[in-house]
Amino acid sequence: MLKADARVRIYSRDETAQFEMAQELAPEHDRLRYLIGDVRDRQRLKLAMRGVKYVFHAAALKHVPSCEYNAFEAVETNVRGTQNVISTAFESGVKKVLLVSTDKAVNPVSVMGATKLLAEKLIVSANGWSSSTQFACVRFGNVTGSRGSLVPTIERQIAQGGPVTVTDPCMTRYTISIEDAGRACLEAMEVTGAGDIYVPDMLCVNVIDLVGDVILQSGKEVAIIHTGIRPGEKLHEELFGPGEVDRKEHFEAGFTLVHPLDSTGV
């Protein structure tokens, strides 16, 4: 996909995360470039996207409780920020944009899920405005090991001596490792057509079983308490909406593509 002299730009507002990444990956990865900025800032985004051919759009407010209590901030980043990415991609001559989305966008009950659903809709519909830039999505469940995800939270609570908090013992979640998620993003960039939503095969796990496994691996004894479902949470997530069932195609390689509705464009 990339030429030998190509560069990869990491664009985010998290200076500390960029510093830590640079320290961990240097000096082997001298093709990386770190740019501070926000998807809300269209002018800065335009500078960052100059000359770029492929965009992985993962910028978002992702925590359900935080988005519930800061609803319009979620709109500004997840919705308006996505539209900024789309508009800037048009202007910059980008070949393809891949939005990193979530299963919470399927039949959403949370602000976070609703804003990610809107982001998906914006990305898919953007294909009607351009024949030179393609837009597609990849949809994940819980990315195990990512910052703020379930397993690191459990491990932190165990390290502090407990208790480990579980919202509801019946809750299930789709999970994928951070390594598999990274590979899925690269594959999705390769195989998706305009308007496709790529959904990798994922495990559906019972949260209480996952908690038990992490506690067992730690070799420690800690209490588990049930706190109840938080605002915006569902007991069970879904990977496909009712309107997507007739448009999905499963591949033996381990993923499903949800194809877009036929459109004549604009």
Question: Does the pLDDT at position 4 exceed 80?
Answer: no
**Per-residue DSSP letters for the chain?**
---TT--EEEEES-HHHHHHHHHHHTTT-TTEEEEE--TT-HHHHHHHTTT--EEEE------HHHHHHSHHHHIIIIIIHHHHHHHHHHHHT-SEEEEEEEGGGSS--SHHHHHHHHHHHHHHHHGGG-SSSEEEEEEESEEETSTTSHHHHHHHHHHTT-PEEES-TT-EEEEEEHHHHHHHHHHHHHH--TT-EEEE--EEEEHHHHHHHHHHHHT----EEE--PPTT--SS--SS-GGGGGGEEEETTTEEEEPPPP----
In a domain, 184, yes or no: yes
In a domain, 195, yes or no: yes
Question: What is the predicted pLDDT for the residue at 264?
Answer: 44
Question: What is the predicted pLDDT for the residue at 99?
Answer: 98
In a domain, 15, yes or no: no
Question: What is the predicted pLDDT for the residue at 30?
Answer: 82
Question: Does the pLDDT at position 167 exceed 70?
Answer: yes
Average pLDDT of the residues in 98-127: 97
Q: What is the mean pLDDT of the chain?
A: 93
Structural domain total, the chain:
1
In a domain, 192, yes or no: yes
The CATH number of whichever domain residue 57 belongs to comes to 3.40.50.720
pLDDT digits (tens, 9 = 90+) for 14-35: 999 999 999 998 877 788 999 9
Question: Does the pLDDT at position 266 exceed 80?
Answer: no
**Percent of the chain whose predicted confidence (pLDDT) is above 90:** 82
In a domain, 154, yes or no: yes
pLDDT digits (tens, 9 = 90+) for 65-98: 999 999 999 999 999 999 999 999 999 999 999 9
Which range marks the domain in which residue 52 is found?
37-258
List the catalytic residues: 104
In a domain, 70, yes or no: yes
In a domain, 74, yes or no: yes
Question: What is the predicted pLDDT for the residue at 92?
Answer: 95
Question: Which pLDDT band, with edges at 50, 70 and 90, does 3 fall under?
Answer: low
pLDDT digits (tens, 9 = 90+) for 190-246: 999 999 999 999 999 999 999 999 999 989 989 999 999 999 999 999 999 989 999
Question: Does the pLDDT at position 2 exceed 70?
Answer: no
In a domain, 26, yes or no: no
Question: Does the pLDDT at position 5 exceed 80?
Answer: no
